[in-house]
A and B are shown apart, each in its own frame.
Chain A
Amino acid sequence: MTTATIGTPRRQRRLSRREDVLTGYAFVLPQLVGSLLFVIGPLVAVVWYSLHDWNVLANSFTYAGTDNYERLATDPGFHDAMRASGIFSAGLVVLNVGLALALAVMLNQRLPGTATFRAFFFSPVVVSLVAWTIVWGFLLQADGGINGFLSQLGIDGPNWLREGPTAMLSVIVVQVFKNVGLNMVLFLAALQGVPREVREAATMDGASPWRSFWSVTVPLISGTILLVSILTVVGSLQVFAQIAVLTQGGPGTSTTVIVYYLYQQAFQFQEFGYASAVSVVLFVIVAILTFVQWQTRRRWVFHEV
């Protein structure tokens, strides 16, 4: 009787808790099913396809084991694409994060017109990527707007999209201007979260503005720098539209980044199995880079416990 008196509320609480949990799962089930069908399912399918030779026109789908991965290891085209992606990512991360931070610091001042400038620098983020890229394509033509402007200054501009080094630089700069506003807003939010009294204390201790920035502000926004870096690195490895519109991978293969190479293999050359292997490798690279960045956060993110 005593046991029953004590046990009943417990059992009721356990049942109630179980029902709450199940109700919660029931509510997330549609999203879970969606993720399984449209995220996990395709991921598994791509891995499966990567183990096959798939000729769409001939309607053949044969098991190839690790052949596609072995081919990747010796494919100079893939190696070129890896190198191009590496250059693009390095350039984009340095320029994008550096410029976004500089803009955020400048626009964090309480000066007239800063709101207008913030809107100005953020506006490209809401513009269609393809439209943005097409416009830049016209500007970067040999007889385009940029060279027209340079000629007014007496400078004979290069053929931006047709020469190896300037083609890659152009693609990077176009991407930087497109997305720098988003990172700038993230940095602005972080900067506005830095306690004023900490900076004032540094100033009272005799720290120069530069010293105060590096020794006080940067550590306090290091978490946001980590976030922005991860997002930029991941985004840089997925660049496609800019390449397709501006350079189509050229000149030569200098701007053929991994996703463009993947697109060529799958949709131009009908090598769906091989392209799937490329996408699996790209997935692994992104996962490893993200993991490494996340794991190293303890070394340089100030307030991480």
Chain B
Amino acid sequence: MKHRTLYGVAGLTAVALTLTACGGDDGGGDSTSDGPADLRMTVWTADEAQLALFQEIADAYVADHADTVSGISFETLPFEDYTTGITTQIAGGNPPDLAWIFESSAPEFVASGALLDLRPVLEETDGYDAGDLEPDALRLWENDGGLYAYPFSNSPFGVFVNTDQLTAAGQPLPADLIAAGDWTWDRAAEIAAATAQASGKAGLVVRDFDFALWENLGTIWSSFGAEPWSEDGSTCEFTSPAMIDALTWIHDQIFTTGALPGPGTTADFFAGDAALTVTQISRASALDDSFGWDLVPLPDGPEGHVNVIGQAGIGVFADGPNADVAADFLAYFTNPENAERLAAYFPPPRTSLLTAETLQGANAKLTTEQLQAVVIDGIPGAVTKPAHANFAQLQAAIRAELDALWTADADVSAVAESVCAAAEPLLAG
């Protein structure tokens, strides 16, 4: 009898374990849920001040909507594996309700049908003023008239300058070159190379470019009139004369003039290891008073001045159990009042908020002149960093082929040909 009891308990345990393991969410989400929803949003930022602001806005929403929402949490995923983290959660049957999505993944997320069309809820929410949203900023997130994410952050690229290093090297400051109408990539490379020579540190660092995330080089090649693929995403453009010129220029600055640090060299501008860096204004928070610095717009290229922005959107997963509630929260999270508060860290797509005064409130380190020149003037008409519905595969395939370019004796045209040979099948698919 004792044994029978033992077998019975063991058997029931086994059955219970099996049912527990197999009885989980099917991954497709439930279209309805009982009671107030507990919303979850994935973000990449781990900045405590930013997360505190998110939570403050979310708590205010929960207080007003206790009947529909019981709580809202923000889950930080590592930047490097951010998109991978989201898709892994989806594959595991545990998708977030809302997610921050990078511009590079936008076409894939928008085209897949994974995201909810937000346009109806944004346009119907009282006081939302959807007409205030900058049309250029929305373009990447639209499909067949629908808007599949709110372009939450529109961060233009600019150039941070270590004025101490440039002065010590006897080089002109970019602000003076801008005033003289002589702020070009050639001049930037010239002073970067001379300063690197004098300081023994790096010259110009492009967005922490480590010779893997080649898309950051778009900040340079855009003003050469180059783009990695055609606007409809179907044709490789690495072999275009403009791109060959741009890649040749970049190669020369690495291996001939030494203006750009070579592969395998680590140089953190914000630690004082470089003279100039191309990056976004959010990095200003990493600056202290250890050296004099300035922030200026991107230099002009052969095709004139081209602004480049990085974008991030917030989308709601259509198959999530709380999609409608999540969309309503997103409308609250990004309404004019909250958008103004969030502008402290994330330049919004609202034209009414794109003023130096609004952004100055939260970017005390930057002057109104810097904000006007780099952010306010940098968003309208800007080129967005490369994005494609097949971006992940393109990123990896092009990275592998471009590796051949990062040697001193590389044949730029031959590398460009091999890049297109690898990219064309992925662009066609």
Q: Tell me if A143 counts as interface (CB < 8 A to partner B).
A: yes
In the bound complex, do residue B18 and residue A23 qualify as a contact, i.e. CB atoms below 8 Å apart? no
Q: Measured between alpha carbons, how far is A256 from B87 in the docked complex, in Å?
A: 22
In the bound complex, do residue B264 and residue A57 qualify as a contact, i.e. CB atoms below 8 Å apart? no
Minimum CB distance partner of A32 in chain B? B14
Minimum CB distance partner of B406 in chain A? A162
Q: Tell me if A253 counts as interface (CB < 8 A to partner B).
A: yes
Q: Tell me if B112 counts as interface (CB < 8 A to partner A).
A: yes
Given contacts A32-B14, A161-B264, A256-B400, 17 further A-B contacts (CB under 8 A): A29-B10, A33-B17, A33-B18, A37-B21, A54-B91, A55-B112, A58-B112, A59-B27, A59-B114, A142-B262, A162-B406, A163-B407, A250-B399, A252-B401, A267-B87, A267-B88, A268-B393
Q: Tell me if A212 counts as interface (CB < 8 A to partner B).
A: no
B395 smallest CB distance to A (angstroms): 8
Q: Tell me if B403 counts as interface (CB < 8 A to partner A).
A: yes
In the bound complex, do residue B265 and residue A272 qualify as a contact, i.e. CB atoms below 8 Å apart? no
Q: Tell me if B229 counts as interface (CB < 8 A to partner A).
A: no
Q: Measured between alpha carbons, how far is A42 from B88 in the docked complex, in Å?
A: 16
Give every chain A residue within 8 A of B392 (Cβ-Cβ).
268-270
> Total number of A-B contacts with CB less than 8 angstroms?
103
Which residues of chain A in 183-233 are interfacial with respect to chain B, using CB atoms and an 8 Å cutoff? none
Q: Tell me if A148 counts as interface (CB < 8 A to partner B).
A: no
Q: Measured between alpha carbons, how far is A141 from B392 in the docked complex, in Å?
A: 26
Give every chain A residue within 8 A of B265 (Cβ-Cβ).
141-143
Which residues of chain B in 374-429 are interfacial with respect to chain A, using CB atoms and an 8 Å cutoff? 392-393, 396, 399-401, 403-404, 406-407
Interface string of A242-266 (1 = CB under 8 A from B): 0000001111110010000000100
Which residues of chain B in 155-208 are interfacial with respect to chain A, using CB atoms and an 8 Å cutoff? none
Interchain residue pairs with CB less than 8 A apart (29): A19-B3, A23-B3, A26-B6, A26-B7, A29-B11, A30-B10, A32-B14, A33-B18, A54-B91, A57-B90, A57-B112, A57-B113, A57-B114, A59-B113, A59-B319, A138-B266, A141-B264, A142-B263, A142-B264, A142-B265, A162-B211, A162-B406, A248-B399, A250-B212, A250-B403, A253-B400, A264-B396, A268-B84, A270-B87
Interface string of B1-20 (1 = CB under 8 A from A): 00100110011011001100
Q: Which of B3, B11, B87 contacts A57 (CB 8 A)?
A: B87
Interface string of A28-46 (1 = CB under 8 A from B): 0110111011000100000
Give every chain B residue within 8 A of A252 (Cβ-Cβ).
400-401, 403-404
Give every chain A residue within 8 A of B81 (Cβ-Cβ).
267
In the bound complex, do residue A267 and residue B84 qualify as a contact, i.e. CB atoms below 8 Å apart? yes
Interface string of B299-319 (1 = CB under 8 A from A): 000000000000000000001
In the bound complex, do residue A143 and residue B10 qualify as a contact, i.e. CB atoms below 8 Å apart? no
Q: Tell me if A159 counts as interface (CB < 8 A to partner B).
A: yes
Minimum CB distance partner of B115 in chain A? A57
Known: A33-B17, A142-B263. A250 touches B10 (CB 8 A): no
Minimum CB distance partner of B264 in chain A? A142
* A contact residues vs B (CB 8 Å cutoff): 19, 22-23, 26, 29-30, 32-34, 36-37, 41, 54-59, 138, 141-144, 159-163, 248-253, 256, 264, 267-270, 272
Give every chain A residue within 8 A of B404 (Cβ-Cβ).
251-252
Q: Which of B13, B27, B262 contacts A30 (CB 8 A)?
A: B13
Q: Tell me if B209 counts as interface (CB < 8 A to partner A).
A: no
Of the listed residues B28, B109, B265, the one surrounded by the most CB atoms of chain A closer than 10 A to its CB is B265
Q: Measured between alpha carbons, how far is A55 from B90 in the docked complex, in Å?
A: 10
B409 smallest CB distance to A (angstroms): 12
Give every chain A residue within 8 A of B407 (Cβ-Cβ).
163
Which 10 pairs show the lowest CB-CB distances between chains A and B?
A: A142-B264, A57-B112, A251-B403, A57-B114, A267-B84, A33-B14, A58-B112, A26-B10, A29-B10, A159-B264
Q: Measured between alpha carbons, how far is A256 from B14 in the docked complex, in Å?
A: 41
Give every chain B residue within 8 A of A58 (Cβ-Cβ).
112-114
Minimum CB distance partner of A256 in chain B? B400
Minimum CB distance partner of A159 in chain B? B264
Q: Which of B18, B109, B113, B403 contacts A37 (CB 8 A)?
A: B18
Q: Tell me if B328 counts as interface (CB < 8 A to partner A).
A: no
In the bound complex, do residue B6 and residue A23 qualify as a contact, i.e. CB atoms below 8 Å apart? yes
In the bound complex, do residue B28 and residue A59 qualify as a contact, i.e. CB atoms below 8 Å apart? yes
Q: Measured between alpha carbons, how far is A141 from B90 in the docked complex, in Å?
A: 37
Give every chain A residue within 8 A of B266 (Cβ-Cβ).
138, 141, 143
In the bound complex, do residue B403 and residue A269 qualify as a contact, i.e. CB atoms below 8 Å apart? no
Q: Tell me if B38 counts as interface (CB < 8 A to partner A).
A: no
Known: A248-B212, A250-B400. A29 touches B3 (CB 8 A): no
B28 smallest CB distance to A (angstroms): 6
A130 smallest CB distance to B (angstroms): 12
In the bound complex, do residue A37 and residue B17 qualify as a contact, i.e. CB atoms below 8 Å apart? yes
Minimum CB distance partner of B8 in chain A? A26
In the bound complex, do residue A268 and residue B396 qualify as a contact, i.e. CB atoms below 8 Å apart? yes
Which residues of chain B in 51-92 are interfacial with respect to chain A, using CB atoms and an 8 Å cutoff? 81, 84, 87-88, 90-91
A178 smallest CB distance to B (angstroms): 21
Interface string of B128-171 (1 = CB under 8 A from A): 00000000000000000000000000000000000000000000
Q: Tell me if B268 counts as interface (CB < 8 A to partner A).
A: no
